[in-house]
């Protein structure tokens, strides 16, 4: 390892890097994000670290507790439900629009995305697979040519990753790739209504695969102390 810094980080790129780390579960919910610690890690001052943490808190990926610091967010059961209800409002219609606007280049890109996900899965890199799985949804919004909705979905996807980390029921491999394949078929046929229906079902399946029965979440602060 070189003594010199290889990259000059900006506030935005640090935000993106942290978001990806959270999305990939390299930074699990509850992890303390110390300002000095991060500043040293990226070779920047606390000023820029704080800007990044502020940005992440606005996306509900990080919780800022006054005079206590920043922590990777731990969505409550309530919040988990709300996130998926919001996704249910936004994504099916967006999938419909995407199907109707889909170009061959878009199709190829989505295919590549799914292929990469399988590669990551086979390599045992579940974090990367989860990230790519989320990217699939964001790409659909991009293809629908709705950048405003895309931004909302992008946030909801990242928050969903935290929810999965906390409430995912099975430890087995992600079985949702089937749903994505089915969506691909609808996209290939430019079948908007089918894509809408498939996305709706997909989201319902996702919620069903979560354990959202608990009214309280005991693992929250305890886990944090034990795992670190």
The footprint of a copy of itself (CB under 8 A) covers 50-51, 54-55, 58-59, 79, 82-83, 85-86, 89-90, 93-94, 146-149, 152, 156
3-state secondary structure of 6: coil
Choice between 67 and 148, CB closer to DNA = 67
Least distance from a copy of itself to the Cβ atom of residue 20, Å: 18
CA distance 198 to 96: 10
Of 113 and 152, the one with the shorter C-beta distance to a copy of itself is: 152
**Partner touching 64 among a copy of itself, DNA, none, CB below 5 to 8 Å by kind:** DNA
212 binds, among a copy of itself, DNA, none (CB under 5 to 8 A by kind): none
What is d(CA 138, CA 11) in angstroms, rounded to the nearest whole number?
23
Min dist CB 40 to a copy of itself, Å, is: 21
- Using an 8 Å Cβ cutoff, are 19 and 61 in contact? yes
CA distances from 199 to 91, 92, 142, 183 (A): 7, 5, 15, 7
Torsion of CA 31, 33, 37, 43, to 10 degrees: 120
Tokens of 125: 């890199």
Q: How many CA atoms lie within 13 A of 113 on its CB side?
A: 21
CB of 172 to a copy of itself, least distance (A): 28
Closer of 74 and 146 to a copy of itself (Cβ):
146
CA 86, 90, 93, 99 dihedral sign is negative
64 vs 174 by CB, closer to a copy of itself: 64
36 binds, among DNA, a copy of itself, none (CB under 5 to 8 A by kind): DNA
Residues at the site binding DNA, with contacts judged by CB under 7 A: 10-11, 32-36, 44-48, 50, 64, 66-70
C-beta of 76 vs 113, nearer to a copy of itself: 76
93 binds, among DNA, a copy of itself, none (CB under 5 to 8 A by kind): a copy of itself
Euclidean distance between CA atoms 8 and 139, whole angstroms:
28
SS3 33: strand
Q: What is the closest distance, in whole angstroms, from the C-beta atom of residue 60 to a copy of itself in the complex?
A: 8
CB of 53 to DNA, least distance (A): 8
Q: What is the Cα–Cα distance from 26 to 52, expressed in whole angstroms?
A: 17
Kindly tell me which of 20 and 223 has the beta carbon lying closer to a copy of itself. 20
């Amino acid at each position: 390892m070189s003594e010199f810094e290889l990259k000059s980080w900006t506030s935005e790129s640090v935000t993106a890097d942290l978001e990806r780390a959270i999305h990939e579960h390299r930074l699990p919910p509850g992890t303390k994000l110390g300002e000095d610690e991060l500043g040293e890690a990226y070779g920047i001052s606390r000023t820029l670290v704080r800007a990044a943490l502020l940005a992440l808190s606005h996306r509900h990926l990080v919780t800022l507790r006054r005079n206590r610091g920043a922590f990777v967010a731990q969505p409550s059961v309530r919040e988990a439900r709300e996130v998926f209800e919001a996704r249910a409002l936004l994504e099916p219609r967006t999938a419909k629009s995407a199907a109707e606007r889909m170009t061959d280049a878009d199709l190829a890109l989505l295919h590549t995305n799914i292929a990469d996900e399988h590669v990551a899965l086979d390599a045992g890199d579940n974090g990367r697979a989860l990230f790519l799985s989320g990217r699939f949804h964001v790409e659909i919004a991009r293809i629908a040519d709705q950048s405003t909705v895309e931004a909302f979905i992008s946030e909801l996807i990242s928050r969903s990753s935290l929810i999965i980390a906390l409430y995912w029921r099975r430890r087995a491999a992600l079985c949702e790739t089937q749903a994505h394949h089915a969506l691909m078929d609808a996209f290939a046929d430019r079948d908007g209504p089918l894509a809408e229906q498939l996305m709706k079902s997909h989201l319902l399946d996702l919620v069903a695969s979560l354990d959202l029965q608990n009214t309280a979440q005991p693992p929250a602060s305890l886990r944090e102390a034990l795992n670190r």
